[in-house]
Amino acid sequence: MKISFISLASGSSGNCYYLGTPEYGILIDAGIGIRLIRKVLRDANIDFCKIVAVLVTHNHADHIKTVGCLGEKYNIPVYATETVHKGIAKSRYVEEVLVGSRRIIVKEEPFCIRDFEVTAFEVPHDSSDNVGYHIVCGQHKFTIATDVGHITETVSTYLCKANHIVLEANYDEEMLRYGTYPAFLKERIVSPTGHLSNREAAEFLATHYTPEIKDVWLCHLSRDNNHPELAFKTVDIRLFQEGIRVGKDLSLVALKRTTPSDIFEFE
């Protein structure tokens, strides 16, 4: 079965990812406008009507902006933990209240969306609740972990199960340290419930690499404290120090904040 992956947007202005087969697909987060979602999918020759589910990681605005519209206007089931759903219901950024489309999931209890076996797992972040997703379809195993304060044993376990990894690389430590953010915001970002730096992502990937890992996408890059070339270079250099060659041993892509990625397809 052919699997396709696209990043529609990845950053503090909005996050949305697509994973699908030729027959159907799912969105992971929906923090960008419905028109943009439809346009990116149309440009990729993906029928919006084939979206059968939305998985939500947490209830920050850049991840949930359009879940109400998708759920209630288009009748697409929206999956999230009970705590995240409560946060969505209280959010001023979501216009439509989720009712019939609301689906409750429990961390580390697998559930199926057609051929996708999905498991949500705990990810530390300063939202009401936050999860990553491990998604298995045939021989392909995807793990997405965004807005990661630090890599716990649980996060590590699910990342290490994957062939295809979407992992946060939010900020460069030097750029953040000497940047213009106020002290309280810098402290929030570097806290154990904040975000993951380029260096931390690179260190994890370099020390946990196995030949089963085929693709890594660096996600949720900061607008002010990072850029794709720097995130890529930081991880590339650290992997090379361990004898892991980007482009030969694995594919590495730093996702852009507001520009859709290429379509990545896997047989």
Residue in 4, 14, 11, 9 with CA at minimum distance from that of residue 44: 4
- Could you give the CA distance from residue 220 to residue 236 in angstroms, rounded to a whole number? 18
User: What is the mean predicted confidence (pLDDT) over 20-27?
Assistant: 97
CA-only gyration radius of the chain, Å: 17
Mean pLDDT of 75-82: 98
Under DSSP, is residue 8 helix (H, G, I), strand (E, B) or coil? strand
Q: Is the pLDDT of residue 1 over 90?
A: no
Phi, psi of 142 (to 5 degrees): -105, 140
Q: What integer is the mean pLDDT of 134-139?
A: 96
Q: State the Cα–Cα distance between residues 44 and 156, nearest whole angstrom.
A: 32
The tens digit of pLDDT for each residue in 242-264 reads: 999 999 999 999 999 999 999 99
Closest CA to 121 of 91, 149, 153: 153
pLDDT of 55 strictly over 90: yes
* Cα distance between residue 147 and residue 134, in whole Å: 15
pTM over 0.85: yes
* Average confidence (pLDDT) over 102-111: 98
* Angstrom distance (rounded) from CA 242 to CA 245: 9
What are the phi and psi torsion angles at 129 (to 5°)? -165, 155
Please, are residues 209 and 242 in contact by the beta-carbon 8 Å criterion? yes
Average pLDDT, the chain: 97
26 within 8 A of 113, measured Cβ to Cβ:
yes
Q: What is the pLDDT of residue 128?
A: 87
Higher pLDDT, 204 or 1: 204
Give the type of residue at 222.
Answer: S
CA atoms within 13 A on the CB side of 216: 30
- Residue identified by tokens 């990937």 is 205
- 262/264 Cα distance (integer angstroms): 6
In sequence order, the β-bridge partners of residue 105 are 81
Residue 184 has pLDDT above 90, yes or no: yes
